[in-house]
Structure 1
Amino acid sequence: MNDLTEFWPKNRVLNKGEWTPPVGTRFISSDDHLMEAAHLWEERLTGPDKDRAPKYWQDENGIFNLEVDGVSYNTPGFDLSFPEGRPGFWDTQKRLEDMDAEGIEASIVFHSRAAALIRMQDKDLWFKCIDVFNEWMAEWRMAAPDRLFPVAYLPTFYKPEMTRDYMQKIKDLGFKAVEIPSAPRGVRYNGKEMLPMWEAIAEAGLPLSIHIGVAIDYTGTGALAINLNRNLQPFNPLFGQLVFSGLFDRFPNLKIVFTEGGASWAASAITGADKIYRDYISAIKPRIEHKPSYYWHQNCWTTFMDDPVALDLIDWIGEDKMMWSIDYPHPEGVFGESMKIAKQIYDKAGEERFKKIVGGNAAKLWGI
């Protein structure tokens, strides 16, 4: 094995190491991923749309492939064995073994390839595909219902008026959490047309994760890294969008989790938004009731994996607002060195704040 592949997810060696965390520490990963079952949509879509189902299969090399209307939804020019090669991605028993090896008690689990279906032009069919995915995830979690907590994908940001009924379905299926993407094309989260969605989410009371997405906006030299850099850091403008639209004044019980974008961004986002509030207060419409930092500490959380800058900024971000994740089993995730990173958090944060960040905050937010 050469140096370029030994830390690919499928090749990582997992162990807890020699460090012993303080008694009473709960390790809950606030952002992990699963791989959807092969042939999920072909087998589960019903009615006249069945023949149009996305084709989704695992090939002889173990790689999952997705095709819609004859068009490949795989990332062009990208070796999928790099991010998707670990068996625990799709084999639940191996996932649990990996969690045990890393000392992870529970996992908040998000989609994988299902998110790519947002590219589908037929949004009615897309809605049905996401509905099938959510129903499948509700079954998937029963393999370890006290450890695996999948996050339902809310497909109503294109149909906000349907959100109340769909949120009830999500709750009836047993989900503790729901997600929407960070920047779906053609959707304005601060638009008046979205108010029925926000109202229904607030009424349902489930924490809403806004997860980073994959957008191929750049081409040319270095395009892969450029796109990754953009995709992994999207949240500063989104925070401002939610705050300055008056969303939190209208729905003060909203719980928003900015997911997989790190935590250090929050410090500059909060202080920058407070400065805008101070300097432009006479021109801002609507006139929000509090400084943006108030809404951060009342309504928002952020997840991170390995973010040493954030550990220097805990007093700005808030020890109750930060949640650690493994991001299993993505390349940017920290599984394979989880306890090494945990020790770094402990050394920087101290025992009380450490226990909140690595599991306590997640346990409280999602009721685990």
Structure 2
Amino acid sequence: MRRQDDMAKIWANSGDSHFLEPDDLWRSNLPPRLAELVPRAVKDPDGTYETVYVDGQSFRRKLPNVQAQEFLDESSRAPGARDATLRLADLDTEGVWGELVFPSLGLWSSSFRTPEVLREALRVSNDWAIEAIMKVSPRLVPTAQVSTLQVDDAVAELERTAELGYRAVFLPTTPHPLADDWNRDSWEPFWAAAEAANMVLAFHVGTDPIDIGSQQVGVVYRGPGGAVLNYTETTFSGQRAAMKLVASGALDRHPDLRILVAEGGATWVPFLADRMTEGYRQHHMAVRPKLKRSPKEILYSQVYASFQHDASAVAALTGMGYRNVMWGSDYPHMEGTFGHTQETLHGLFDGVSDDVRKRITIDTFLELFPGVGEPAVAAAA
């Protein structure tokens, strides 16, 4: 494989990245009665397991192996994981221009059960990210965070953050079991508010609520192949979120509302389009609500999907006609491309037409998030 610095640089925008907030962001900025409910972890003396406390609940989980622990150590992380200024230097080296930035602490949001603490914690995160990320550079597009426990709280915070300059809102693929699921009518005011504010709904895979009562938190499968099975399992809930918004009529009622499912690949969209259209057609007598457009038309026009390594994602555009395909680096996560972004991009796009490459690496992102500038500016510098 060619070295990254020996290649002609392919510039890209990224539809998936993450920022590591200060570990004590919530604890330091919430009243003590709420701060004691936010997530914290206590490691066992031998470093094998830890106990995680969140909102009056607790569970134990096994810590990563030695190799993963080394990656998670501060000295081994990408320099810009916690610092937006250093992050821009990382992006320039990697050939990434604009990027959508998901939270890290916020990935816990679907496991809270107290509306007040979730509402106030996410408000702290949203205010913090304006200074720490948004104001550093227009290239960085942070996602706002809203409570999924109460729709009124979600609407209020979406409208507040839209006024503050946010253009996307992060949502877990599945709300907490105490809340209504995405296909329920109770979420209608939120969909309407998001459409009116031109806010992209950014779902990220792997954000289902944690089963606190499980003895195997984060583990669905055990035995041979378990690691691969569990990693693959995280992708499916993103597909289900898209299905719920299509089948319930939410996207049909709000044709200007756009959703992104990040880090879940792209070929699932054409598959679901066929499967849902077949179900709608063959079982029309039982279908409620009736849609003005076919599931395929809705999925192809309003649902966007990001991937990092999947060669099949390119074929979703070239062979299946699905154009809302967006590349993403998943910076700075282990599954991401940091350190080998150019090898990844060349492997995906060498031999692919310029139009297809530009659509996936640059234009799809700009369709959702105009105003971040053009990668060509950096390429010419």
Deviation at 1:264, TM superposition (A): 1.8
- In the other structure, the counterpart of 2:274 is 271
2:123–2:157: 8 Å Cα contact kept in structure 1? no
Q: Is 1:334 the equivalent of 2:337?
A: yes
Q: Is 1:121 the equivalent of 2:113?
A: yes
* Aligned residue pairs, count: 346
Distance 1:318 1:345, change over 3 A: farther
Write the distance in 2 (CA, Å) between the matches of 1:138 and 1:83: 28
Query: 3-state DSSP class of the match of 2:8?
Result: coil
Deviations 1:207-239 (A, max 9, x none): 111111245252643554433221133333333
Distance 1:140 1:15, change over 3 A: farther
Deviations 1:59-92 (A, max 9, x none): xx9xx99754687778533246366341432233
Write the distance in 2 (CA, Å) between the matches of 1:254 and 1:90: 31
Deviation at 1:123, TM superposition (A): 2.9
Deviations 1:247-275 (A, max 9, x none): 12221211111111111212211121122
Write the distance in 1 (CA, Å) between the matches of 2:124 and 2:154: 16
Q: Is 1:204 the equivalent of 2:206?
A: no
Distance 1:294 1:214, change over 3 A: closer
Write the distance in 2 (CA, Å) between the matches of 1:71 and 1:98: 38
Q: Which amino acid letter does the alignment assign opposite residue 331 of structure 1?
A: M
1:66–1:74: 8 Å Cα contact kept in structure 2? yes
- Unmatched segments (≥5 aa) in structure 2: 209-217, 373-381
Query: 3-state DSSP class of the match of 1:254?
Result: coil
Selected match of 1:101 from 87, 90, 93:
93
Q: Is 1:77 the equivalent of 2:63?
A: yes
Write the distance in 2 (CA, Å) between the matches of 1:70 and 1:196: 30
Deviation at 1:351, TM superposition (A): 0.1
Query: 3-state DSSP class of the match of 1:234?
Result: helix
Deviations 1:16-47 (A, max 9, x none): 441244xxxx5111100011113111221147
Alignment TM-score, normalising by the size of structure 1: 0.84
- In the other structure, the counterpart of 2:211 is none
Selected match of 2:131 from 125, 139, 157:
139
- In the other structure, the counterpart of 1:162 is 153
Distance 1:307 1:119, change over 3 A: same
Q: Which amino acid letter does the alignment assign opposite residue 28 of structure 2?
A: E
2:98–2:141: 8 Å Cα contact kept in structure 1? yes
Q: Which amino acid letter does the alignment assign opposite residue 20 of structure 2?
A: M
1:36–1:114: 8 Å Cα contact kept in structure 2? no
1:234–1:261: 8 Å Cα contact kept in structure 2? no
Selected match of 2:168 from 161, 170, 177:
177
Write the distance in 2 (CA, Å) between the matches of 1:206 and 1:74: 37
Query: 3-state DSSP class of the match of 2:284?
Result: coil
Query: 3-state DSSP class of the match of 2:183?
Result: coil
Write the distance in 2 (CA, Å) between the matches of 1:219 and 1:105: 38
- In the other structure, the counterpart of 1:35 is 20
- In the other structure, the counterpart of 1:5 is none
Root mean square deviation of aligned Cα: 2.9
2:203–2:262: 8 Å Cα contact kept in structure 1? yes
- In the other structure, the counterpart of 1:194 is 187
Deviations 1:315-340 (A, max 9, x none): 45546301100000111112222122
Distance 1:16 1:262, change over 3 A: farther
Q: Is 1:299 the equivalent of 2:285?
A: no
- In the other structure, the counterpart of 1:6 is none
Write the distance in 1 (CA, Å) between the matches of 2:173 and 2:293: 24
Query: 3-state DSSP class of the match of 1:158?
Result: coil
Greater shift, 270-279 or 128-137, is seen at 270-279
Write the distance in 2 (CA, Å) between the matches of 1:314 and 1:36: 35
Write the distance in 2 (CA, Å) between the matches of 1:122 and 1:188: 17
Distance 1:83 1:280, change over 3 A: farther
- In the other structure, the counterpart of 1:49 is 34
Q: Which amino acid letter does the alignment assign opposite residue 176 of structure 1?
A: R
Write the distance in 2 (CA, Å) between the matches of 1:319 and 1:283: 28
Write the distance in 1 (CA, Å) between the matches of 2:60 and 2:341: 29
1:39–1:55: 8 Å Cα contact kept in structure 2? no
The 5 A counterparts of 1:1-20 are 15-20=4-9
Distance 1:282 1:140, change over 3 A: same
Query: 3-state DSSP class of the match of 2:292?
Result: coil
Query: 3-state DSSP class of the match of 2:286?
Result: coil
Write the distance in 1 (CA, Å) between the matches of 2:286 and 2:245: 18
Write the distance in 1 (CA, Å) between the matches of 2:226 and 2:105: 21
1:40–1:56: 8 Å Cα contact kept in structure 2? no
- Unmatched segments (≥5 aa) in structure 1: 1-13
2:106–2:145: 8 Å Cα contact kept in structure 1? no
Deviation at 1:172, TM superposition (A): 2.4
Write the distance in 2 (CA, Å) between the matches of 1:298 and 1:270: 11
